[in-house]
Amino acid sequence: MNDPRAPQPAVRLRPPHNRVERRAILWWTLQSLAFSGPLLIGAIVGYVVWEDARPWLLAAVIGAAILALVGVVVEPGWRYAVHRWEATDEAVYALTGWLVREWRVAPVSRIQTVDAVRGPVEQALGLSTLRVTTASSKGAIDIGGLDKDVAAAVAERLTTAAQLTTGDAT
């Protein structure tokens, strides 16, 4: 058993090694469509139906089209290029974002819960989100776009490692 008074190995913020699944690109594309699609359709319907408002609704249609184009064509590939993750016996590392990048590390000694979360679209694509909860005020570390079997195995491994780590996870 580890002596809690012994110096602990330093956990540093460093680039994680693993990419998310390539299927995550489709998942992010569908998420973007679910948001921007109704906006674009609503703007187009308004433009067609409301003749007096066409001048300003044209701007809304163009804006919604640009939002949809960026969300469907640019964002998913960019996120895939950026998102990385890694889970070691010492820490969980995550790099996420596409416009604003978030780089986080959670020492295993601080882990409180580990969950593999699967929404309906993730289930259909065989994906899962690994959610690592700590006492941090920043909230849980979510690593989306993992293969469901990989997420389950990592969740099990991290749970075991957290149980074996001395400390109070706060």
pLDDT band at 117 (very low <50, low <70, confident <90, very high): very high
Nearest to 163 by CA among 113, 121, 129, 97: 113
- In this structure, the answer to whether residues 72 and 95 fall within a common structural domain is no
Kindly state the average pLDDT of the residues 79-86.
95
Look up residue 52 and give its two tokens: 């007096």
pLDDT band at 11 (very low <50, low <70, confident <90, very high): low
Q: What is the CATH number of the domain that holds 112?
A: 2.30.29.210
- In this structure, the answer to whether residues 74 and 101 fall within a common structural domain is no
How many structural domains is the chain composed of?
2
Secondary structure class of 56 (helix, strand, coil): helix
Give the start-end residues of each E strand in 11-90: 18-19, 84-87
Q: How many CB atoms lie under 10 A from the CB of residue 3?
A: 7
- In this structure, the answer to whether residues 88 and 156 fall within a common structural domain is yes
Secondary structure class of 111 (helix, strand, coil): strand
- In this structure, the answer to whether residues 104 and 140 fall within a common structural domain is yes
Tell me the whole-structure pTM to 2 decimals.
Answer: 0.81
- In this structure, the answer to whether residues 35 and 68 fall within a common structural domain is yes
Residue range of the domain that includes 133: 84-164
